[in-house]
Amino acid sequence: MNEIQLAHMKKRVLSGIRTKKAEPFYFDDCYVCQATKKAEKEGKDLSVEELTEIFRKANEQN
């Protein structure tokens, strides 16, 4: 995730907190976000091992 994406995420999180609309959001081009969104749709909580693998793959893509 680059600095622009992090700044955008921070802005959205803070605006959600201020408006009390803290709805989940994801970046379409972020591998971690895609995996998290998929797991959420499936009603699944990701394990530490799954998260570790997701971050490893995300780092390979960058």
Where are the domains positioned within the chain? 3-61
Each residue of 16-36: pLDDT tens digit? 554 444 556 666 778 888 888
Which pLDDT score, from 0 to 100, does residue 56 have? 92
* Euclidean distance between CA atoms 19 and 32, whole angstroms: 26
Each residue of 33-51: pLDDT tens digit? 888 888 988 999 889 999 9
Query: Nearest to residue 50, comparing CAs of 62, 3, 16, 58?
Result: 58
pTM of the entire predicted model: 0.53
